[in-house]
């Protein structure tokens, strides 16, 4: 059984992270942006798991669990905000929610 190189695991995390980032940048729909943020968070968690496996320590997984917790809280609050925004400005366009500019 050959070992998976550490680089490849980290590279996978990096690729997923950048894909999520691209999505955040190009999307105007707030729900899509939220999904993209989930992808990025997941990629960050993946990097922790890879590192934890490399050193065979539990800490990587502990960190992943914390990220998971945070993601869950963030999604619940984020979705509530999306609902609220949709009720207020009747659209999911993030560029329309720029009233705080002035």
Partner 1 sequence: MELIFYIASAIAVGSTVMVITRYNLIHALLYLVVSFLAIAIVFFVLGAPFVAVLEVIVYAGAIVVLIIFVIMMLNLKAEAVDQERRWLSVEIFIGPAILSVVLLGELGYYILLSGTTGIGMHQVDARAVGMSLYGPYVIGVELSGILLMAGIVGAYHLGRQKKKVVHRFLEKVEE
Partner 2 sequence: MKELLWLIPILPFAGALILIVVGTKLSNSKVAVVGVGSVGLSALITILIGIDFLSSSPYKSIDQVLWTWIDVESFKPTIAFHLDSLSLIFIFVITFVGFLIHIYSTEFMAQDEGFARFFAYLNLFVGSMLILVLADNLLLMYLGWEGVGLCSYLLIGFWYQEEKNGYAARKAFIVTRVGDTAMAIGLFMLFQIFNTLNIQEIAIQAPLAWNVGSPVAIMIALLLLGGAVGKSAQLPLQTWLPDAMAGPSPVSALIHAATMVTAGVYLIARTHIIFELAPIAQVMVGVIGAVTLLLAGFSALTQYDLKRVLAYSTISQIGYMFLALGVGAWSAAIFHFVIHAFFKALLFLGAGAIIMLLHHEHDMFKMGGLRAKLPVIYWTFLIGSASLAAIPLVTAGFYSKDQILWLAWAGEKGNIWFFLAALMGAFITSVYTFRMVFVTFFGQEKTHVAHPPGKSMTTPLVVLAILATVGGFIELPHTFGHVTLFSNFLTPVLSSVEVKHDAESAEWIVQIVAAVVSLSGVYLAYFFYVKRPELPDKIKSFIPSLYQLWHSGWGFDALYNFILVKPFVFLAEINKRDIVDQIYGALVSVVNGFNLVLTFTQSGMIRWYIMGIVLGAIVILTIGLLV
CA distances from 34 to 37, 72, 81 (A): 5, 12, 11
Q: Considering CB distances under 5 to 8 angstroms, the limit depending on partner class, which of partner 2, partner 1, none binds residue 98?
A: partner 2
3-class secondary structure, 101 = helix
50: left (phi > 0), else alpha (psi -120 to 50), else beta? Answer: alpha
Nearer to partner 2 by Cβ, of 7 and 93: the residue is 93
Contact mark string toward partner 2, 51..90, x via CB under 8 A: ----------------------------------------
Contact between 98 and partner 1 by CB under 8 A: the answer reads no
Contact between 94 and partner 2 by CB under 8 A: the answer reads yes
Q: Considering CB distances under 5 to 8 angstroms, the limit depending on partner class, which of partner 2, partner 1, none binds residue 101?
A: partner 2
DSSP string computed for 62-98:
HHHHHHHHHHHHHHHHHHHHHHHHHHHHSS-BGGG--
Residue ranges binding partner 2 (CB under 8 A): 21, 24-26, 28, 33, 94-95, 97-101
């Amino acid at each position: 059984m050959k070992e998976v190189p550490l680089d490849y695991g980290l590279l996978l995390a990096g690729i997923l992270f950048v894909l999520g980032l691209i999505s955040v940048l190009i999307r105007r729909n707030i729900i899509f942006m939220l999904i993209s943020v989930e992808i990025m968070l997941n990629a960050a968690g993946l990097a922790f798991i890879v590192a934890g496996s490399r050193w065979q320590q539990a800490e990587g997984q502990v960190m992943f669990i914390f990220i998971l917790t945070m993601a869950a809280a963030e999604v619940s609050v984020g979705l509530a905000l999306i609902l609220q925004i949709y009720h207020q400005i009747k659209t999911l366009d993030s560029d329309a929610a720029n009233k705080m500019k002035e």
